[in-house]
Amino acid sequence: MDSKLTAIMKEIHQKCVEHGEQNGTISYMKGANIAGFIKVADAMLAQGHV
């Protein structure tokens, strides 16, 4: 269970870094918001809603 949680947290961190870099720092709020939007948009596209 602990290893699964660690893997999930690492993935969240990576997505925040990928999408939240701003002026040489990481905005976790921005990164999480963008990553969440992309996840929802991808799901909508996969279901044929867009």
Tally of domains within the chain = 1
Does position 47 have pLDDT exceeding 90, yes or no? yes
Dump pLDDT digits (tens) for 2-41. Answer: 999 999 999 999 999 999 998 899 999 999 999 999 999 9
Assign 46 a pLDDT band (cuts: 50, 70, 90): very high
Residue 32: burial class (beta carbons within 10 Å; 0-12, 13-18, 19+):
middle
Assign 45 a pLDDT band (cuts: 50, 70, 90): very high
Domain hosting 17: range is 2-47
Residue in this structure with the two tokens 């990928």, named with its chain if needed:
18
